[in-house]
Amino acid sequence: MHAIATCLLAAALSFWYRGELLTALRYFISDSSLGGNMPEPEGTRRSPQGVPYTDLPHIVNADRLHLFCRYWEPDSQPKALVFVAHGVGEHCGRYADIAHSLTQHGILVFSHDHVGHGQSEGERMNINNFQTYIRDSLQHIDIMKGRYPNLPVFIIGHSMGGAISILTVCERPQDFAGVVLIAPMVQMNAESATPFKVFMAKVLNRLAPKLSLGTIDARLISRDPKQVEAYDTDELNHHGGLCVSLGMQLMNAAARIEKELSNITWPFFIMHGDADKLCDIRGSHLMYNEAKSTDKKMKVYEGAYHALHHDLPDTAESVLKEVSTWILERVPTPNGF
C-alpha cells in the first residue's frame, strides 16, 4: 500500500484548489449532526447483495453490524483452527484454495468479510478506526475457540489482512500458535509517507473523510491474466475507490506495527513477491529483521506480484504447499510429540 500516502496528498491538493473545501466542511458537519441512519430490525437485515442474513452464516459485531462468514471443515475431527484475514477491497471467498489445501490435513479454516467488504454490512471502503478489524477478528476467533477448545489457533493474513493479523496477535500473543503472512502491509513507502504528505492526509481526513481515492489496478494483483480477469469480474470485490478515511487508517496501522516489531516473539512465516507494487517488500524484510522471534521464516518469490496465492500456477502451488507444511509442523501430534 505504498501509494496510499501519495494518493492522499494528490487528493488533498486537488480538493483544495478546486475551491470545494467549504462544501466538504458543510457535508462533514451535516453528516456528524445527523448521526447516520438507524439500524434495521434484526429480522429484516440483508446483505449488500439483498440476501437476508437469516439465510447466511454470520456473526454480529460490537457495532451490531452483520459480518458474513465462511467455514471450511475437514472430514475428520479438526486438529487445529486457522483464521484467514483477507485484504482490502476483496472478500474471504477468495481464499477457498488455501482453505481446501488445509482441510485435507484435518484443519478447520474460518473467515469473515471485514466491515464494509463483500457480503458484510458497513459502508464500502470507509472506516474510522482500524481497531474495528482487529476487534472483529478476535471476536470470531473467540467464538471458534469456544466451539473447539484446546486446539491451536493460527492466522493467515494477506495485504491489509496481514496488518490485521499482526496487530491481532500482538494484542493476545499467548492465544496463537503462529502467523502466516502473504505480502503483508507492514510499513508505508518512505518516499510516499513524508511528514508533509502525512500532514495533508490528516487535514483531508478531517474535512472530507469519504472522498474517494484511486482504485486498485487488478494488473498489479497477479501475473496470471486469468486471475486478473477473475478479480475484475468478481462482483464481491470492491471496484471503486478507497475512502480517505480508510487510507488514513492504513497509515495509522503501519505506524502501530513499526512500534510493535521489536516486541514480537511469536512464530511467523512471511512470503512476499519481489515485484510487488502494492505492499512494499521492505516492510516484510524489516519485520523479519526486527522481530525477536526465534521461530521465524521468510521466503521471497522472484518476479512475483502481490497475491502470491493467485499468481502464476507454479507460484500459487508453491504457496499452498508452503503454508500447509509450515502450519502442520507446528500442530501437536496426538501423543504430544
DSSP strands (E only) in the chain = 58-60, 66-72, 80-85, 107-112, 153-158, 178-182, 268-273, 296-301
Choosing from 306, 309, 310, 318, the catalytic residue is 306
Q: List the Cα angle 96/100/102 in 5-degree steps.
A: 120
* DSSP single-letter state for residue 150: T
Query: Whose CA is closest to 3, among 288, 276, 311?
Result: 276
Catalytic residue among 101, 120, 159, 284: 159
Length of the chain: 337
- CA–CA dist 122, 230 (Å, integer): 24
192 is catalytic: no
In the annotation, is 159 catalytic? Answer: yes
CA 197/CA 96 separation, integer angstroms: 38
Phi, psi (deg, nearest 5) at residue 229: -65, -40
Active site residue 58: no
Reported in sequence order, the residue ranges of 75-177 that DSSP labels E, i.e. its strands, are 80-85, 107-112, 153-158
Residue tagged active-site, from 113, 276, 280, 311: 276
- Catalytic site positions: 159, 276, 306
